[in-house]
Amino acid sequence: QVQLVESGGGLVQAGGSLRLSCAASGSIISINNMGWYRQDPGKQREMVATISSGGNTNYANSAKGRFTVSRDNAKATIDLQMNSLGPEDTAVYYCYARLLSGVWWNDYWGQGTQVTVSS
């Protein structure tokens, strides 16, 4: 059984920083892409940043220049450093991984961590 467990969310003032972390565990053979998504109530989940196993990154326009995604393949972890946060960044943030467990590649999601930015 595979689990993705996030940590690091919380309440921060506008202009502040937060670092989210996510660890994958379980019967994992290989991990392809990993990423962070976020969702506001009543809105669709949107991509924030993704990173391939080779380290290639992709950011939403809203995250470019402010957020940095990184991963440790040996530890099966992914982090998201968020700087210059604004109220528009308030959302539940979800960790994502496409990984091989058993014979199939599947998409896995964490339970989500709340990020609240006060103005």
Taking only the tens place, the pLDDT of each residue in 11-36 is 999 999 999 999 999 999 999 999 99
Looking at residue 41, its pLDDT comes to: 84
Amino acid letter for position 117: V
* pLDDT tens, residue by residue, 49-76: 999 999 999 999 999 999 999 999 999 9
Per DSSP (E only), the strands in 27-88 are: 30-39, 46-51, 57-59, 67-72, 77-82
Whether residue 42 is predicted with pLDDT greater than 90 in this model: the reply is: no
Question: What pLDDT is attached to residue 10?
Answer: 97
- Per-residue pLDDT for 92 more than 90? yes
Among candidates 66, 69, 45, 46, which has minimal Cα distance to 57?
Answer: 69
Rounded Cα distance, 110 and 117, in Å: 21
